[in-house]
Amino acid sequence: MCLGIPAQIVAISDPDHCMGMVDISGVRREADLTCVAGDNLDDLVGAWVLVHVGFAMSIIDEDEARTTLELLAALGDAEAELAAMRDSQVSLEASQ
Domain-located, residue 25: yes
pTM, to two decimals? 0.78
Backbone φ and ψ of 44, nearest 5°: -80, -20
What are the pLDDT tens digits along the chain (96 aa)? 567 899 999 999 999 999 999 998 899 999 999 999 999 999 999 999 999 999 999 999 999 999 998 888 888 877 777 777 777 766 667 776
Does residue 86 sit within a domain?
no
Q: What is the CATH number of the domain that holds 59?
A: 2.30.30.140
Determine, yes or no, domain membership for 19.
yes
Of 37, 36, 48, 44, residue with least CA distance to 11: 44
Residue 17 lies in a domain: yes
In SS3 terms, 47-76 reads as CEEEEECCEEEEEECHHHHHHHHHHHHHHH
Structural domain harbouring 25: 5-68
In this structure, is residue 91 part of a structural domain?
A: no
